[in-house]
């Protein structure tokens, strides 16, 4: 994905270095290589690559990772604006 980059400085991903136990689970589940573990601590090496899928936060045993997960889909976001987050769907199977 080195040739395909989306907007920088928008991802809501946050890593609490204090809380990290260095298990490396985040490096296994992240599909964009956002994390690296060095000296028993995870580090964000490519925050701009984050697509906020939530896999890391979901599988961090120390709850050291927070991210506001969601679907990066325009149709879905328009619906959250109109109908609210609870009732929004991806229209007609547009995205997923």
Partner 1 sequence: MNMTPKNENCSTGQEPCSCETQAGPQPFPMHPGEDVVCCGSPVRPPSSTLERPGYRLWHFVEEFVETPAGPVPRVKTSLARPDILATALARMSSFRNDYKVEPGLYCVGRPGPDSAVLVSANYKLSFDALRKELSGLDAWILVLDTRGINVWCAAGKGLFCAPEVIRMVKLSGLEEVVRHRNIILPQLSATGVSARDVEKGCGFSVTWGPVRARDIRGFIRAGMKAEFPMRRVTFTFAERLLLVPVELFLLIKPTMWALLAIFVLSGLGVGFFSFNAAWLRGFMAVCALGAGIFAGAVLVPALLPWLPGRAFSLKGAIAGLLGGAGVVLAFWGRARGLEDLALVLFAGVVSSYLAMNFTGATPFTSPSGVEKEMRRAIPLQAAALLATILAWVGASFAG
CA dist 51 and 45 (Å) reads 14
Which CB, 8 or 86, lies closer to partner 1? 8
Part in contact with partner 1 (CB under 8 A); list of ranges 14-22, 37-45, 47-55: 47-55
**70 binds partner 1 per the rule CB under 8 A:** yes
Out of 21, 33, 83, 85, the residue judged to bind partner 1 by CB under 8 A: 33
Residue 11 · residue 52 · CB < 8 Å = yes
CA dist 87 and 80 (Å) reads 7
Out of 37, 53, 62, 66, the residue judged to bind partner 1 by CB under 8 A: 53
CA dist 77 and 83 (Å) reads 10
Part in contact with partner 1 (CB under 8 A); list of ranges 14-22, 38-46, 75-83: 75-83
């Amino acid at each position: 994905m080195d040739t395909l980059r989306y907007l920088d400085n928008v991802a809501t991903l946050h890593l609490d270095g204090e809380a990290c136990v260095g298990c490396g689970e985040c490096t296994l589940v992240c599909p964009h290589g956002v994390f690296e573990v060095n000296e028993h601590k995870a580090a964000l090496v490519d925050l701009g690559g984050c697509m906020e899928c939530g896999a890391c936060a979901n599988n961090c045993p120390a709850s050291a990772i927070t991210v506001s997960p969601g679907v990066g889909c325009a149709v879905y976001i328009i619906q959250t604006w109109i109908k609210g987050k609870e009732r929004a769907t991806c229209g007609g199977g547009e995205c997923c």
